[in-house]
Amino acid sequence: MNDSHLLREADRCVKCGICLPHCPTYKLTLDEGDSPRGRIALIQGLVEGTLQSRRGEAHIDRCLGCLACQKACPSQVNYATLLDGYRATRPIPGRIRLMLHLISRLPYKWWAGAALRAYRLGGIRLLARRIGGASFRRIDDLMPPQSRPQSWRRTNRPISSSQGRVALFTGCVGRITDRPALEAAIALLKHLNYEVAIPDDQGCCGAMHQHGGAPERAAEMAEQNRQAFQDRDYDAVIYLASGCGAQLVNKISGIPVLEISQFLNRCHWPENISLGELDYSVALHTPCSQKHQLQLDDAPHEMLARIPGIQLHRLDEIDCCGAAGSYLLLQPEMSDRLQSRALAHLYSGHADILATSNTGCALQLAAGIRKSGRKIRVMHPVELILESVNKGGPGG
């Protein structure tokens, strides 16, 4: 997007302020620079050259990209295109470029899971935390306690009495951090008589690159995934992380690209599969990407509400948890403040389990819960469905 396109889109904003009460950062700071209309005005000034301000750039960097403002905008300003387009005009610092490269590449290495386990169990972790500085310790605090090897080749085997054939998108970080959820999805889909394929040539969805000022690299990743999933006999491509899904959904054509709960709510359940009772109090968090980009707010709730005995309540008061892709690493102060607000809503009630449908949100909220010392498990909704199926009828 060139400067004229940026200014044309920015001019659609009439500065009415309807977006302000929907913006998580503005609600924290009450600073106009941290509001959507304020950021649009800053983009206009910076692009036109009438403003040169590091502080203005900082306000734009503090935007989460949650798109609550875009959903509320009566003028239908395409804030996502405006924000991504402006960020693409700026050079990406080398450390951020390296971080994006490592995050999107390392999880696909066959040795990544074993290396992470060795790191967490060995003495090198203590040394690394001591000499790595605050940024490294922050990354380390986000990592899950355990990880396992990452080979899913066994899932490519055909199964009998198949209802169909689906492909599973794993994500990059999710290959390590979402391992229990991915395995639960595979097991559940097989219970429902679906053949599950995990293409070896899939890659990172590119969301962090798209929103971090590297659209060319994001386009390359989109093309890789198009090649991996298209032109094969899949009934659907299924994803678990809503942030990945928001990036993928318009990039793969000809095949439905569906969030796991969306798929489970639509598909046929064999008569011999029943849901067993779960006596849990579950707080359901809906990620921003699930609400504002995918507009699938109700899909996980509809799926979990089918479980007998479950005590389910939605955390609709949380507007953003502060994860927002790489934001939790690049904007630690604001991210922590948003995390604290989100967890305060969680702690205001009693919950055994926090269920959320996005990788970054799960890492962010679980890190805060561990730090607090509270015993609340963070799970993907599909893990609860599988547990219920395993407690159900003979099909489980």
DSSP-based three-state secondary structure for 212: coil
8 A C-beta contact, residue 59 and residue 25: no
Strand 236-239 to strand 257-259: parallel, antiparallel, or no bridges (unpaired)? parallel
CA distance 393 to 77: 50
CA distance 372 to 365: 11
Helices 36-48, 79-87: inter-axial angle, 10-degree rounding: 40
Structure confidence by residue, pLDDT tens digits, 222-239? 999 999 998 788 999 999
pTM: 0.92
CA distances from 18 to 22, 59, 354 (A): 8, 19, 31
Pick from 235, 259, 236: which is nearest to 247 by CA? Answer: 259
pLDDT 10s digits, 41-63: 999 999 999 988 888 999 999 99
The 10s digit of each residue's pLDDT in 283-311 is: 999 999 999 999 999 999 999 999 999 99
pLDDT tens for 356-385 read 999 999 999 999 999 999 999 999 999 999
List CB contacts of 83: < 8 A, sequence separation 6 or more.
39, 60, 63, 65, 211
Overall average pLDDT of the 332-347 stretch:
97
Express each pLDDT in 75-115 by its tens digit: 999 999 999 999 999 999 998 999 899 889 888 887 887 88
Q: How far is CA 100 from CA 92, 110, 139, 213, in A?
A: 10, 19, 13, 11
Which helix (H) or strand (E) covers residue 285, if one does? Answer: strand 281-285
User: Structural domain boundaries of the chain?
Assistant: 3-87, 94-142, 153-266, 281-390
What is the pLDDT at residue 394?
A: 58
Listed in sequence order, the residues at least 6 apart from 71 whose beta carbon sits closer than 8 Å to its beta carbon are: 22, 291, 292
Does domain 281-390 correspond to CATH entry 1.20.120?
Answer: no
Task: Assign 379 to helix, strand or coil.
Answer: strand
Residue with tokens 């994001």: 218
On the question of a common fold for 3-87 and 153-266, the answer reads no
Residue 119's pLDDT is what? Answer: 81
Average pLDDT for the chain: 91
**In the predicted structure, residue 158 carries a pLDDT above the cut 60:** no
377-386 tens-digit pLDDT: 999 999 999 9
Query: How many C-beta atoms surround the C-beta of residue 219 within 10 A?
Result: 14
Give Rg (Cα) of the chain: 21
CATH topology for 153-266 is: Rossmann fold (3.40.50)
For residues 45 and 6, give the distance between their C-alpha atoms in angstroms, rounded to a whole number: 11
* Secondary structure letter of residue 286 according to DSSP: -
Confidence at residue 118, expressed as pLDDT on a 0 to 100 scale: 82
Pick the CATH number of 3-87 from 1.20.1630.10, 1.10.1060.10, 3.50.50.60, 1.10.10.10: 1.10.1060.10
